[in-house]
Structure 1
Amino acid sequence: MIIEQNYYKRRSKGTVSERVLGATVQEALRLVKENSPKKISQLVVLDVGCGSGEYSFVLERYVKEVVGIEPYLPVYEKAIKEKKKRKSSVIFVNKKIEDFSTRQKFDLVLSITTIEHMPESKKSFRKIFNLMNKGGLLFVTAPNKLWPFEAHYHLPFLSWLPAKWANKYMQLTGRGETYEDSSYSLTYRGMKKFFNQFPCRYKFIVPESAKVGYLGCGEGDSLYKLGLKIGIRLIKTSPFFWNISKGFVLIAIKK
């Protein structure tokens, strides 16, 4: 799954605000309510690529159980420290999702900006769907490969470049030696083609809250927020505008 985490070294503490965390979790739970008869309090949840547990800790307030999978050891260790501090019941596992095994099945799976870190994304999501109950819901957020400013390193047009040129760009700007760890983002068309491979019904979601969406939506100056509102209105007018959106929100329900 995630082969290296250069960008984690560049993330500041508290990158995701409580406001965005709460809004994102509430959006995911709202979508479960709309698409599943199961009570929220009885949900068993899997948080794929959970990082330091930011979303997992919010989720556990509402559901029966949360399991967080994080392959990058330093971030996993941070999650464990935070778990002890909070006296949390979240179960954290330091493995790639492909290597995780359990007899348990999950009602809700979160994949919050993880697909762009997966060199074997088909294998990763095949495992995710195998871990889901029939009728279970997968909540995905992902950056758009065509968005001009790359989501993790904030370099213009980085995600548009071939790997060799992207790596050189990273080196010249002092952002790292390689872009490989975050280079697997998809376009709108690519997302549709990707999820067509799996036993699911999927659809792209325009969030009810402007705070939700691709990680970071709702944060920024007034001009940024205005652009976000305009973007949401355009997408509501026509799905075509997903092609030029900053990122995607998608749900997939396992058949």
Structure 2
Amino acid sequence: MAEKHFLEQTKYTKEFIIPYLKEHISLLKNMNVLEIGCAEAGLLSVFDELKCKTTGIELSPHRAQFAREKNQNSKIIEGDITSEEIVPLINDKFDLIIMREVIEHLHNKENALLNIDKLLNKDGYLFITFPPQYSPFAGHQQIGRTKLSKIPYLHLLPVNVLNLLTKKMNEREDFVDEIKLNYSTGMAINRFEKLITPFNYKIIQKDLYLFRPIYSQRYGLPIVKIPGIPLIKEAISFGYEILFIKSY
């Protein structure tokens, strides 16, 4: 499974992330790149091919170990971006920081953003993506093994209703706890924009997706963007992606 994830990350980075970044960043080669929540580090392997210096932070010990084995040129750190020790542990500054599908799982999002700012060079780039908290599958119910995994907005139902459904459908025992945890730590778009505003980063590109680019790779769906209409964007957007530059 780890190898499958690594290959998916590599393919997605080559087919979408690199072309996307090249539209907005004049030179990707030889950059100092940090990925937060690097998992198996397929993304970092692609940046290594571009002669970039690469570093990854990963909370899971076994994923961090796999990443080290697959990326011997990368510095892989087992750690938590929200911790006070992470900045001195990394002991570096970066031209590009990428955090994809991570911030919605963090309990202390404020600390994470403060640490990221300390790690980002002046004129450095920050690329963040996440599924909005009130979006159809923000509970990550796709972890389920039954038809419940395909029902949108399931995470918004009361716990007692979810418990009845999971029992009736013979769903995995931890299903309700998992999707409710994902919902409770989730990130709403408006909240994110309030948290990031004090840093005075300049927005280079911001996109809201009905069908995110990763869905094109996984399910063969077309990439569909939607306008940022207040309230509606929180409920129907499957993905929020934003690229900043630190211009101070």
Alignment TM class, shorter chain as reference: 0.7 to 0.9
Relative contact order, higher structure (CA 8 A, sep 6+) = 1
2:242 is paired with a residue whose SS is strand
Given the superposition, is the C-alpha separation of residues 59 and 182 from structure 1 closer, same or farther in structure 2, using an over 3 Å criterion? farther
Q: How does 1:187-202 map to 2 (within 5 A)?
A: 187-202=188-203
* TM-score under structure 1 length normalisation: 0.73
1:28 aligns with 2:18: no
Aligned to 1:81: 69
TM superposition shift of 1:17: 5.7
Aligned residues with identical type, % of pairs:
19
Q: State the one-letter code of the partner of 1:60.
A: D
Given the superposition, is the C-alpha separation of residues 166 and 198 from structure 1 closer, same or farther in structure 2, using an over 3 Å criterion? farther
Q: State the one-letter code of the partner of 1:185.
A: G
User: Is the 1:112–1:215 Cα contact (8 Å) retained in structure 2?
Assistant: no
Aligned to 1:139: 127
Q: State the one-letter code of the partner of 2:32.
A: V
Aligned to 1:239: 228
Counterpart CA distance in 1 for 2:112 and 2:161 is 24
Equivalent of 1:94 in 68, 74, 78 = 78
User: Is the 1:150–1:159 Cα contact (8 Å) retained in structure 2?
Assistant: yes
In structure 2, stretches of 5+ residues that fail to align are 143-148
Q: Deviations over 1:91-135 (max 9, x none)?
A: 101111233224421010000111011111110111011111111
In structure 1, stretches of 5+ residues that fail to align are 1-8, 34-38
Given the superposition, is the C-alpha separation of residues 191 and 167 from structure 1 closer, same or farther in structure 2, using an over 3 Å criterion? farther
Aligned to 2:182: 182
1:134 is paired with a residue whose SS is strand
Counterpart CA distance in 1 for 2:120 and 2:95 is 6
TM superposition shift of 1:160: 3.0
Counterpart CA distance in 2 for 1:44 and 1:134 is 13
Aligned to 1:108: 96
* TM-score under structure 2 length normalisation: 0.75
Q: State the one-letter code of the partner of 1:110.
A: I
